[in-house]
Amino acid sequence: MYKSFYLIIFVFLFSCGSSRNLVYFSDLQENNDQSTKILNAVDPKIQPDDLLGISVSTLNPESNALFNSGILLPPTVTNTNNTNTNLVKDGYLVDKNGFISYPVLGQVKLGGLSKEEATKKMIAELKRYIKGEPIVNIRYLNFKVTVIGEVNRPSTITVPTEKINVLEALGMAGDMTVYGKRENVLIIREKEGKRNITRINLNTKETLNSPYFYLQQNDVVYVEPVVGKYRATQANTNRNLSTILVGATSLLTLIITRFF
């Protein structure tokens, strides 16, 4: 009789306990190595409000000073570091029409171009004033993404490498809490004057091929919380569920001992 009674209670507890999938890419098979070509990594495009660091290096010290700081050195002044003078501190802000204001060159449109394309354009513009082949280096000075919601350290993250995926961003934000919806992560992206909003499911490996897996500058990642009166129950792991079962079993044993 007691065995049947315990069985009924255990079935009841397991049926009432609701668990969630807290494992990233849980549909990946264990001990099964995979290799797939990365097709969704794209070079970011220069957008309005991007802050660009641009340095120009030539064999001419006067040209270096002129194109890096807008200062023309007198002929009697020499620069011992005649191959790399980078005096740009604040960078060049891309305006709403995609233009930057650069010394001597004036207004140069870089908006919509990748770094590689922008570098080639700057070299072509500089060749009108410089003999030889100038070396141009362009970097994003304010490439950042923001991670908020159910993460341990919500923050805005500056990305010096200009390449980051959603997993790396979550890692820098301390990962999700157990209350974060891994199956419904919101990504907000502004591009070409439009705000795009999409959701990705980090429980499935298909997200690795999503165009939103790799983040772009100024992306916002929002991890939604589990809400409602069942939040704590839904976030239970197997370990927590086992603890509840042990406590419930002890209580039931006490009741049966006294009343049966």
Domain 144-225: give its CATH code: 3.10.560.10
Residue 68 predicted with pLDDT over 90: no
- Amino acid, res. 149: G
Which tokens belong to 41? 């990594």
d(CA 95, CA 48): 5
Which part of the chain is CATH 3.30.1950.10?
A: 45-70+88-140
Number of residues that make up the chain = 260
Architecture of domain 45-70+88-140: 2-Layer Sandwich (3.30)
What whole-number distance in Å separates Cα of residue 240 and Cα of residue 252?
19
pLDDT tens-place string over residues 162-212: 999 999 999 999 999 999 999 999 999 998 889 999 999 999 999 999 999
- Enter the DSSP assignment of 174: T
100 or 252, greater pLDDT: 100
Q: Where in the chain is the domain with CATH 3.10.560.10?
A: 144-225
Q: How confident is the model at residue 75 (pLDDT cuts 50, 70, 90)?
A: very low
Q: Does the structure show a pLDDT above 80 at 10?
A: no
pLDDT mean across residues, the chain: 81
Rounded to 5 degrees, what are φ and ψ at 13? -65, -40
Give the pLDDT of residue 251: 59
Q: For the residues 130-149, what does the mean pLDDT come to?
A: 94
pLDDT tens digits for range 209-233: 999 999 999 999 999 999 864 455 5
Beta bridge partners of 102: 106
| Confidence label for 80 from pLDDT (cuts 50, 70 and 90) | very low
Q: Quick one: pLDDT band at residue 102, thresholds 50, 70, 90? A: very high
Could you tell me the end-to-end alpha-carbon distance of the chain, in angstroms, rounded to an integer?
11
The per-residue pLDDT for range 11-20, each reduced to its tens digit, is 444 445 456 7
- Tell me what pLDDT residue 33 has: 74
Burial of 173 (0-12, 13-18, 19+ CB in 10 A): buried
Picking from 8-22, 121-135, 137-151, 163-177, which range would have the lowest pLDDT averaged per residue?
A: 8-22
